[in-house]
Amino acid sequence: MLHFAWQNLASRPARSILALLGLTVAITGMVGLFSIAVGLQRTVGRTFDRIPGLAAMQPGAPIPLFSRMPAAWAEEIREVPGVSVVRPELWTRAQMVDGKMTFNPPRFLFGTDIPTTLQMKSAVYRDDIQAGRFLELADVGTNRCVISEAIARDSSKKPGDIIKVDGNLLEVIGVYKTGSILLDVAIVIDQSTLRQLYRMDPSIISSVYIEPVEKMNPDELSKAIREKFRGRSLGKWQPSADTIAGLSGRTEATLADKFVAGLSGLSDLGKPRKPAPANSSTSGEVLLAGGEKPSPEDISGENSAADTSDAEEGLEVRSARDWGTKIQEFSSDLDIFMYLMSGIGVVIALLSILNTMLMSVTERMTEFGILKANGWSSWDLLRLIAYESAALGLIGGILGCTLGWIGTLVVNASIPDKLNLYASPGLLLFSLAFSMALGVLGGLYPALWATRLTPMEAIRRS
């Protein structure tokens, strides 16, 4: 019967090919769309698996780049029981690298505290050196840096070369690769050098990375740190007009930019927001009336005029699990879009198969009548038509999964720094099974219609 079903499809090649094309396009689109969501989840998982510690930053800031907090708070965090290592961090955006604007993909300067980084048991960038070496104590106060493999490739740099960042000449001493497009965007430099080059206030840092002692519960440590700083008037981060324009006003937005924009909307999900003060700076630095910077006493909580809601949470402490929860919330909205787009393709493919099988059944009514007159049962006819539609679904699924998988490889190879699609084996198997089910479903109505006819009715309809 399978051979008979295949002969029926081959006898009408034009109609069968059109049905296959519709199904193939639908399955290819489904694999491509869902590989974006799967790739994002996989990238985020890889990223935060590399960060076992806690990150403390300004409440409401989506990532450390936008956070500003007093440097003196790092010393207070060291006093919390259960803290092993505390590393102050300083982040800023690199606008130009070797004379090229860094809109797409973005590049960042990461000012690290070298002595503290060398004490850590696990440190991103330090443990991922591919060529050269990481920063050492002798590099404190120098213009030496470590760059990602992606930056090295784009700028044609290797250890020993000079790279120009925002007009500053830096000596490349190492190249790292983490395998995550969210991490392979940084130029790592000594923190004091970064302050000097960009004239940053020495009393301000972006964030603090906290490495707990062994067997310390991260949730308990996070709670203890938040309680220590509860009531401090640091102020909640609010996205300024310049920040929003910088993320949304470009002709091309990278995955990292969309990721940041999504997190900024999720960072205070369910909490009331107050309007951003008119005198707040674009970098997230808190300013007083008239543009003056607050004193350390004002920042540390001795300003009695602080807003009550801001005073409740003086410092936000996040773990990798917290980041994962926010990403799941962000990706759930992305999944809805994927389902809608895939649903359109599925409906088109289903109508295509339904039309093909209905026309095939209509043209073969005499054949079906003769088969039933020769002893074929309604079940035999149902199986025959189901085999034909399932064959269309199987072939269309194989072609769609193959083209979708190849497409993800081509995209990843073409723009490795912007997208990381992943057509997982589970996604491909699901798409193939879905395609077969879609094919059978498309042939179900014509099959039921044909089996209800008697041999004489079938012959008369021809």
Is residue 21 domain-shared with residue 63, that is, in the same domain? no
Is residue 151 domain-shared with residue 269, that is, in the same domain? yes
Which of 87-91, 121-125, 266-270, 343-347 is predicted least confidently?
266-270
Terminus-to-terminus CA distance in the chain, angstroms?
23
Report if residue 445 sits inside a domain. yes
Report if residue 323 sits inside a domain. no
Q: How far apart are CA 191 and CA 200, in angstroms?
A: 10
Is residue 308 domain-shared with residue 364, that is, in the same domain? no
Nearest by Cα to 143 from 185, 116, 111, 118: 111
The 10 Å Cβ neighbour count of residue 414 is 9
Q: What is the mean pLDDT of residues 388-410?
A: 89
Is residue 217 domain-shared with residue 130, that is, in the same domain? yes
Q: State which H helix or E strand residue 439 sits in.
A: helix 425-451
Q: What is the mean pLDDT of residues 418-425?
A: 81
Report if residue 349 sits inside a domain. yes
pLDDT > 60? residue 305: no
Q: What is the pLDDT of residues 4-25, one digit of tens each?
A: 677 767 777 777 787 788 788 8
Boundary-marking domain end, from 279, 296, 318: 318
Residue environment code for 178-209, b if the CB has 16+ CB neighbours within 10 A, otherwise e: bebbbbbbbbbbbbbbbbebeebeeebbbbbb
Residues 69 and 206 sit within 8 Å (Cβ to Cβ): yes
Is residue 248 domain-shared with residue 363, that is, in the same domain? no
Boundary-marking domain end, from 292, 318, 344: 318
- The number of domains in the chain is 2
Residues 263 and 330 sit within 8 Å (Cβ to Cβ): yes
Is residue 173 domain-shared with residue 36, that is, in the same domain? no
Q: In Å, what is the CA distance from 337 to each residue of 30, 34, 333?
A: 11, 10, 7
Is residue 35 domain-shared with residue 147, that is, in the same domain? no
* Confidence at 456, pLDDT banded by 50, 70, 90: confident
Type of residue numbered 454: T
Report if residue 49 sits inside a domain. no
Q: In Å, what is the CA distance from 348 to each residue of 18, 25, 41?
A: 12, 10, 29
Q: What is the pLDDT of residues 223-249, one digit of tens each?
A: 999 999 888 866 666 655 444 444 433
Report if residue 427 sits inside a domain. yes
Using CA of residue 210, residue 213, residue 214, residue 219, what is the dihedral sign?
negative
Q: What is the pLDDT of residues 46-89, one digit of tens each?
A: 666 667 789 898 888 878 888 899 999 999 999 999 999 999 99
Boundary-marking domain end, from 287, 318, 349: 318
Is residue 454 domain-shared with residue 406, that is, in the same domain? yes
Tokens of 109: 């300067």
Which of 134-143, 210-219, 276-285, 312-321 is predicted least confidently?
276-285
Report if residue 74 sits inside a domain. yes
Residues 112 and 92 sit within 8 Å (Cβ to Cβ): no
Is residue 295 domain-shared with residue 444, that is, in the same domain? no
Helices (H), 120-231: 149-155, 191-198, 218-229
The 10 Å Cβ neighbour count of residue 8 is 18
Strands 69-70 and 83-93: unpaired
For 205, list phi and psi in degrees, rounded to 5.
Answer: -130, 170
Is residue 332 domain-shared with residue 313, that is, in the same domain? no
Q: What is the pLDDT of residues 261-280, one digit of tens each?
A: 444 433 333 333 333 343 33
Is residue 335 domain-shared with residue 260, that is, in the same domain? no
Is residue 263 domain-shared with residue 394, that is, in the same domain? no
> Which domain range does residue 176 map to?
54-318
Residues 39 and 421 sit within 8 Å (Cβ to Cβ): yes
Q: What share of the chain has pLDDT > 70, as a percent?
A: 72
Q: How far apart are CA 420 and CA 47, in angstroms?
A: 13
- Residue, of 356 and 174, whose pLDDT is higher: 174
